[in-house]
Amino acid sequence: MSEESNVQFSEREALLYHSEGRPGKIEIIASKPMATQRDLALAYSPGVAVPVRAIAEDPSLAYDYTAKGNLVAVISNGTAILGLGNLGALASKPVMEGKAVLFKRFADVDAIDLELNTEDVDRLIDAIELMEPSFGGINLEDIKSPECFIIEQTLRERMNIPVFHDDQHGTAIIAAAGLINALHLTGRSFKDTRIVMLGAGAAAIACAELIKAMGLPHDNLLMLDLTGVIYQGRQESMNQWKSAHAVDTDKRTLADALGGADVFIGLASANSLSPELLKTMAPNPIIFAMANPDPEISPPLAKAARPDAIIATGRSDYPNQVNNVLGFPFIFRGALDVRATTINDAMKIAAARALAELARQQVPEEVAAAYGTQHSFGPEYIIPAPFDPRLMELIPAAVAQAAMDSGVATKPIIDMAAYRQSLRARLNPTTSVLSLAYEGARANPKRVIFAEGEEEVVLRAAIAFKEGGYGIPVLVGRESVHERLQKLGANPEDFELHNSVNSPLVPRMVEFLYERLQRRGYLRRDIERMVNRDRNIFGALLLQLGEADAMITGVTRTYAETMRQIKRVIDYAEGRTAFGIHVLVGQSHTVFIADTTVNERPNTEELAAIAEGTAQVARRMGHEPRVAFLSYSNFGNPEGRWLDNVRGAIKLLDERSVEFEYEGEMSPDVALNPRQMAKYPFARLSGPANVLIMPGLQSANISAKLLRELGGDSMIGPMLIGMEKPVQIAPMTATASELVTLAVLAAGGIAR
Ligand SMILES: NC(=O)C1=CN([C@@H]2O[C@H](COP(=O)(O)OP(=O)(O)OC[C@H]3O[C@@H](n4cnc5c(N)ncnc54)[C@H](OP(=O)(O)O)[C@@H]3O)[C@@H](O)[C@H]2O)C=CC1
Ligand SMILES: CC(=O)C(=O)O
Ligand SMILES: [Mg+2]
């Protein structure tokens, strides 16, 4: 929300995000079938008695028969919520729900938030200790110092599952990783670096300890709190944890401390560092302003004062996000997978080193492509971004290995290579690619036409698109759009509006379209009417005239009607068949279904082209395509009249020697269920299909819409592929966020 950040959103939008649909950010989903009487008898009484007795006899079986082994409690009493201070347990719930969903999103760890309404250390400790049977681990969050030190230490001693105060150790691990790389880039070593740490709370004390454990001499770190420098002999506002970092010095203020210092680490509060002070730091200073949500100093101010600095913050909207989100999901993943009894220093240091190492590696092509710019190790990239898919494979593996080596793993991993493979499979690459596509859009914002500017859902999408920094919305609509934008809390002046009634572009548009359609029997008068009245034609003409990079429409007219209008202005790309893809996205799988929107009964050539085009999109979205041509029949059984096209398409792909797996014709159960597929051992797919080519529009469109309405997974699309210009037709039921996703995919060139 800060002015200089490249992600803008209003307070209203933040509240809407949290309240829309089901309030809050989490829900619980059953992982077993619950449909029949028999299911219920197994899930609950009487069937449930069997695992109860088994666990009573052997407690370790709780990991086999309950969710314990993958379940973490995110616990707070709200006494230090981010950098916002002590706002109480209830107010901390949005942050704790947020941490819970990050656990799931980044590392497939199930997590539940628990806000406990007490500042009494003993009551808090007792309450948490009693929860040991329920969870595989405890993540303490936003509990203020010095109480947090006693709470964590006592719980670590009393509990036999990992207890980890994220603000202490999560933060320390990430800061250490960033610092390793920043020191390396500026030719320093821990031994000869002078660090000033603003803040002497949970995060700061833990960071100081870890950095010293990595080689920083005690006297090289000056720590400050609200009272000033923590020096030996200071009496005011001290405690044993601060005392441990007291230094023999006559420096008393931040200004005294910063003179000639190499590194500033802020773990204090917003705007607590003025740019003037930075000017006295050593050449090539390192500035980690880590307070959330607003840093000790904003990066643009810091950069203006010290252009030679390496700058990091806790936020995702500037380069170098040094935030514990890079740690806790992956650290717990590794700890849970070896059933570690604790998270010890060896595991923390292993995580820090693995993170630092990852930032130095070449960024993989799909990550770089989605970023829009080449990210390579340097002052603007000292630490990987949280959605880098490699984190999930590398950090848990490093943590698990360190747990095994240091003797705290109760279930060691035998085959590390297989473990790493299983980590990869836990996350759906689509989710990473989408996150990266959003990042890419922010790095390289494009102009996108929203043709139906009078619709509220479209305006909300356009506002989100703009405020998210994903690009510049170009709105098509009448005067009333101004008023509607205002009603939604946006400033109309910030938006570009094209109204066909007064657009100076109309004569050029008419010229273009008349030239195109005159030999299809249209009179100039017909064309003028179309341009003036029809927003899809007008929008498509804006695209043709180069006024924008992509176009989104679809919520006011049926798909077929919208397509008919667009085709008057925009052709299929040369030599291509246009078609539609619906993408079904689950936690760990993605399925691409085509052609769901354009060709009623695709012929041999069209089917082959649809398969090739869909395979390309699947690759762009991070998946190695395995294409199945679907039918009611398996390899000719039963015989039927409609199978020839499919057979012909497969033959064409054979002739073209395409570089992806394809097979057919086959029924969906054979394509998707490995046991069914095993009955056809000659089939050439190396695993369940992830690209389903349908024999005709009827079956394709019906299947996609059935899945959207009845299936539990989310659906992207339809994406329109193969047009001469990037134009997307959303379903009439699209939500604002679905429209934004389509806009991002269109502008970023994934949907083409
Ligand atoms: N980027 C990241 O990943 C993380 C960032 N943080 C951020 O670190 C900050 C502290 O969090 P946490 O350690 O949990 O909180 P605590 O309440 O435990 O500690 C806060 C510390 O900051 C000091 N402090 C506050 N304001 C100032 C100031 N203006 N000048 C000097 N010292 C100040 C306090 O001083 P005193 O002792 O005198 O009261 C106290 O020592 C928050 O802003 C939080 O968002 C925390 C965790 C992770
Ligand atoms: C990131 C975090 O945990 C905090 O700011 O408190
Ligand atoms: Mg925190």
Closest residue by CA, ligand 1 atom 25: 268
* Residues 317, 234 within the same domain: yes
Q: Which of 569, 597, 622 is the last residue of a domain?
A: 569
Q: Which residue's CA is the nearest one to ligand 2's atom 2?
A: 82
Full domain range(s) for residue 521? 439-569
Rounded to the nearest 5 percent, the helix, strand and coil shares of the chain are: 45, 15, 40
Cα–Cα distance between 592 and 562 in angstroms, integer? 23
Atom number, ligand 2, closest to the C-alpha of residue 203 = 6
Judge whether 141 is annotated as a binding position: yes
Q: Using one digit for the tens of pLDDT, what is the confidence trace for 270-279?
A: 999 999 999 9
Clarify whether residues 230 and 259 are in a common domain: yes
ipTM tops 0.90: yes
Share of the chain above pLDDT 90, in %: 82
At 516, which CATH number?
Answer: 3.40.50.10950
Angle, CA of 26, 30 and 35, to the nearest 5°: 140
Please give all residues whose beta carbon lies within 6 A of any atom in ligand 1, as ranges: 80, 82-83, 144-145, 167, 171, 198-204, 224-227, 237, 267-269, 272, 290-292, 314, 322-324
Identify the H or E element spanning 628.
strand 626-630
Whether the pLDDT of residue 374 is over 70: the answer is no
Nearest CA to ligand 2 atom 3: 167
- The answer to whether residue 660 is domain-embedded is yes
Residue 395's pLDDT is what? 97
Where residue 202 falls among pLDDT bands split at 50, 70, 90?
A: very high
Mean pLDDT (the chain) is 93
167 lines ligand 2 (CB under 6 A): yes
Q: Which tens digit of pLDDT belongs to each residue from 43-81?
A: 999 999 999 999 999 999 999 999 999 999 999 999 999
Give Dmax (Cα) for the chain. Answer: 94
Pairwise CA distance, residues 528 & 319, whole Å: 49
pLDDT above 60 (res 366): no
Tokens 């729900």, residue located: 97
For residue 30, pLDDT over 80 is answered with yes
Q: Identify the nearest ligand to the CA of 272 by its number.
A: 1
Residue nearest atom 5 of ligand 2, based on CA coordinates: 82
- Considering the domain architecture, whether residues 512 and 588 belong to the same structural domain is answered as no
Q: Is the CB of 294 under 6 A from ligand 2?
A: no
Catalytic residue from among 68, 93, 99, 348: 99
pLDDT at position 589 is: 80
- Distance between Cα 244 and ligand 3 center (Å): 23
Is 81 annotated to bind a ligand? Reply is yes
Q: What is the gyration radius of the CA atoms in the chain, in angstroms?
A: 29
Neighbours of 680 (CB within 10 A): 14
How deeply is 122 buried, as exposed, middle or buried, from its count of CB atoms within 10 A (0-12, 13-18, 19+)?
Answer: exposed
Per-residue pLDDT, 641: 80
| Chain segment 616-651, per-residue pLDDT in tens | 999 988 889 999 999 999 999 998 887 899 999 999
What distance in Å separates the CA atoms of residue 566 and residue 720, rounded to the nearest whole number? 12
Do 173 and 281 sit in the same domain of this protein? yes
Instruction: Quote the ligand 3 centre to 109 CA distance (angstroms).
Output: 18
Query: How many Cβ atoms from other residues are within 10 Å of residue 55's Cβ?
Result: 18
Q: What is the pLDDT of residues 696-729, one digit of tens each?
A: 999 999 999 999 888 766 789 899 999 999 999 9
The residue written with tokens 């691990």 in the block is: 173
Whether residue 23 is preceded by a cis peptide bond, meaning omega within 30 degrees of 0, is no
Distance (angstroms) between ligand 2 centre and the Cα of 263 equals 21
Among all bound ligands, the one having the nearest atom to the CA of 206 is 1
Q: What is the pLDDT of residue 8?
A: 62
**Ligand 1 centroid distance, CA of 158 (Å):** 27
User: Cβ of 506: how many Cβ atoms within 10 Å?
Assistant: 18
Q: Which tokens is 590 given? A: 């993605």
Query: Does residue 131 belong to any structural domain of this protein?
Result: no
The answer to whether residue 61 sits within a structural domain is: no
Closest CA to 566 of 690, 723, 415, 687: 723
pLDDT over 80 at 671, yes or no: yes
Measured CA angle at 714 (ends 711, 717), to 5 deg = 110
Asked if residue 551 is part of any domain, the answer here is: yes
Q: Let me know whether 314 and 288 are in one domain.
A: yes
Atom of ligand 1 nearest to the CA of 79: 17
Secondary structure class of 338 (helix, strand, coil):
coil
Same domain membership, residue 531 and residue 651:
no
The token duo for 180 is: 């390793």
Block residue for tokens 């762009």: 620
pLDDT at 368: 63
- Burial track 545-555 (b if 16+ CB lie within 10 A, e otherwise): eebbbbbbbbb
- Does 693 show up as a binding residue in the annotation? no
**Is the same domain home to 462 and 546?**
yes
Average pLDDT over residues 92-118: 97
Query: Whose alpha carbon is nearest atom 29 of ligand 1?
Result: 272
Its sign, for the CA torsion 151, 153, 155, 161, is: positive
684 lies in the same domain as 593:
yes
Question: Does residue 751 surpass a pLDDT of 90?
Answer: no
d(CA 525, CA 163): 75
Q: Which ligand is nearest to the CA of 314?
A: 1
Residues 685 and 605 in one domain: yes
Predicted local confidence at residue 1, as pLDDT: 37
Q: Is 84 annotated as a binding residue?
A: yes
> Is residue 390, in this structure, part of any structural domain at all?
no
235 is a domain residue? yes
Mean pLDDT, residues 394-419: 96
Q: Whose CA is closest to atom 3 on ligand 1?
A: 323
Q: Give the pLDDT band of residue 2 (cuts 50, 70, 90).
A: very low
> 648 and 514 share a domain?
no
- Residue ending a domain, among 546, 569, 592, is 569
CA 142 / ligand 3 centre spacing (Å) = 4
Structural domain includes residue 38: no
Task: Report, as an integer, the average pLDDT of 648-661.
Answer: 96
Residue located via tokens 């209003």: 10
Beta pairing partners, 221: 195
What is the number of the ligand closest to the CA of 200?
A: 1
Q: What is the pLDDT of residue 12?
A: 85
User: What confidence score (pLDDT) does residue 421 get?
Assistant: 82
Question: Is 505 annotated as ligand-binding?
Answer: no
Tokens of 332: 């717990």
Note every long-range contact of 695-698, with CB atoms under 8 Å and residues 24 or more positions apart, other chains counting.
695/602, 695/607, 695/629, 695/630, 695/631, 695/642, 695/645, 695/646, 695/665, 696/600, 696/601, 696/602, 696/642, 697/595, 697/596, 697/597, 697/598, 697/599, 697/600, 697/601, 697/602, 698/600
Question: Looking at residue 3, what is its pLDDT?
Answer: 39
Best mutation site among 97, 164, 171 for ligand 2, i.e. most ligand atoms within 8 A of its Cβ? 171
- Residue pair 221/247 in contact (Cβ under 8 Å)? The answer is yes
Q: Which ligand is nearest to the CA of 84?
A: 1
Q: Clarify whether 104 is annotated catalytic.
A: no
pLDDT above 90 (res 586): no
Residue 614 belongs to domain with CATH number:
3.40.50.10750
Mutate to test the pocket of ligand 1, among 267, 277, 287 (most ligand atoms within 8 A of CB): 267
User: Which domain-ending residue is among 550, 569, 588?
Assistant: 569
Residue 270, domain CATH: 3.40.50.720
Q: Would you say residue 96 lies in a domain?
A: no
Ligand 2 mutation pick, 76, 141, 168, 328, max ligand atoms within 8 A of CB = 141
What are the Cα distances from residue 164, in Å, to 57, 167, 323, 612?
Answer: 29, 9, 16, 49
| Amino acid in position 323 | N
82 CB within 6 A, ligand 2: yes
83 belongs to an annotated ligand binding site: yes
| Whether the predicted pLDDT of 5 surpasses 60 | no
Q: Which of 145-154, 199-208, 430-439 has the lowest mean pLDDT?
A: 430-439
Examine the domain organization and report whether 297 and 209 are in the same domain: yes
For residue 167, say whether it is annotated as part of any ligand binding site.
yes
Say how far apart CA 524 and CA 532 lie, in whole Å: 12
My answer on whether 230 and 257 are in the same domain is yes
| Closest to 167 (Cα-Cα) out of 218, 225, 207, 133 | 207
CA of 471 to the centre of ligand 2 (A): 29
Nearest CA to ligand 1 atom 23: 199
pLDDT grade for 371, boundaries at 50, 70 and 90? low
Number of structural domains (the chain) is 3
Distance 733 CA to ligand 2 centre (A): 37
